[in-house]
Copies of this chain bind each other. A is one copy, B any other.
Amino acid sequence: MLAPPLQRLVTELSKLPGIGNRTAQRLAFHMLRTSEQDAFALAEAIRDVKLKISLCEICFNLAEGPRCAICLDERRDEGVICVVEEAADVIPIERTHEFRGRYHVLGGALSPIDGVEPEDLRLAQLYARVSGLREVVLATNPTTTGEATALHIAAALHERVPEVAVTRLASGLPVGGDLEYADEVTLGRAFSGRRAL
């Protein structure tokens, strides 16, 4: 029903996560209406991201070149490494401005059910970086797989470098949240992690 080039665009857009056929069609029609300049800029940006972005050779964060901007930044604290599951997790942490150390991107979380075993994560590369550190912050997700990954790494680090502090992000009530609507696991964590005022 659609002209073939338009149908191809709808098909390609539908492959994106969270974009169904209707949205793809709406976006494709938008492309038709928008300026050639804007459309070409988007096409070019998509190509560029594949051609120019690689993984940092130190921390596996996204980089334009061999090393990422954080590993290249000499003002960052080299004594602390924050371990995250995915490169996308670096962004919300950076946004807090609470952490000035370096990162290590694991590339996932342990999940034997999905066939993700320790050797599938960038653990050897992490262990090669930890000697001489003050602290390793385990910032894997507060999910079953994220917790399991954090426990696995903590045990390995305690064995290899017992002098390095291993910490985990606090779990508890989200700021601005409402006690009434908190799930019991989160509320339980908030209790067990309560702090003196």
Residues of chain A touching chain B, judged by Cβ–Cβ distance below 8 Å, are: 1-6, 8-9, 11-13, 15-19, 23, 25-32, 34, 36, 38-53, 62-64, 68-69, 86-88, 90-91, 94-95
Contact = CB atoms under 8 A, between A and B. Distances in A.
Contacts of A49: 5-6, 8-9, 28, 31-32, 39
B50 A1 contact: no
B53 A6 contact: yes
A46 B28 CA distance: 8
Copies in the complex: 2
A91 B25 contact: yes
B41 A12 contact: yes
B31 A26 contact: no
Contacts of A53: 3, 5-6, 32
A25 to B, nearest CB: 7
A18 B26 contact: yes
A133 B8 CA distance: 35
A11 B49 CA distance: 12
B42 A13 contact: yes
* Chain A interface helix/strand/loop/mixed: helix
Given A9-B48, A12-B41, 19 more contacts: A2-B62, A3-B63, A3-B68, A3-B69, A5-B49, A5-B64, A6-B62, A12-B38, A16-B30, A17-B30, A29-B87, A32-B50, A32-B62, A39-B47, A39-B50, A40-B46, A40-B47, A43-B47, A46-B46
A193 to B, nearest CB: 28
12 contacts: A9-B45, A9-B48, A15-B34, A16-B30, A18-B23, A28-B49, A29-B86, A31-B46, A32-B62, A39-B47, A39-B50, A46-B46
A25 B36 CA distance: 23
